[in-house]
A = this chain, B = another copy of it.
């Protein structure tokens, strides 16, 4: 090991290491895991790298956490915390309430592009349940009968998850999107109708999300 060069300034107690080492805890572990995931993607999260970043030994993590899977679950639910108004403002416009809930949900996941693909495959955490409850209430006060609530919730869930997972994946490989477009345009002979639809060539993801959601809500709305 190299000698610590610390003798020079001895007034203050030795400065903490470059990346400061707060005491280990579930919370800092989760926060650091999210950093790592944001920076390196799903495959970038490694117990060893996580420990490195925290300036601790790998096995220290296992005091606060049972398995690596738990880190994923905790990071995921943490990212889904709802930061909006605690109570949905009582609006007369149920449609825009629902759209707001779902767009906020989508935005939260897009801020952490690894999160959407994880969500449908893991147990529902408290923050996920809160968001589902929020959605259910909005639907319910929109006039959806209890017997139709199940289908309505799942339909919207499916749409939002599919949209966000797809969008987040394309975002990652945004660099070669131009190339993909080129390729797809070139494939127009074999797939003419896709070509006419200009699939992938339109990059107004937000607008497309909103429009499709509108169609779904049209169908769902109690006529």
Contacts and interface: CB of A to CB of B under 8 A. Distances in A.
Contacts of A149: 193, 196-199
Number of copies: 2
A94 interface: no
A158 B159 contact: yes
A202 interface: yes
Nearest to A116: B120
Contacts of A137: 193
A194 B129 contact: yes
A22 to B, nearest CB: 32
B191 A129 contact: yes
Interface string A139-169: 0100000100111011101111111011001
A212 interface: yes
Contacts of A121: 117, 165, 169
Interface of A: 117, 120-121, 123, 129-130, 132-133, 136-137, 140, 146, 149-151, 153-155, 157-163, 165-166, 169, 180, 187, 190-194, 196-199, 202, 208, 211-212, 214-220
Nearest first, the 6 closest Cβ-Cβ pairs linking A and B are A215-B219, A158-B162, A155-B212, A162-B162, A218-B219, A149-B197
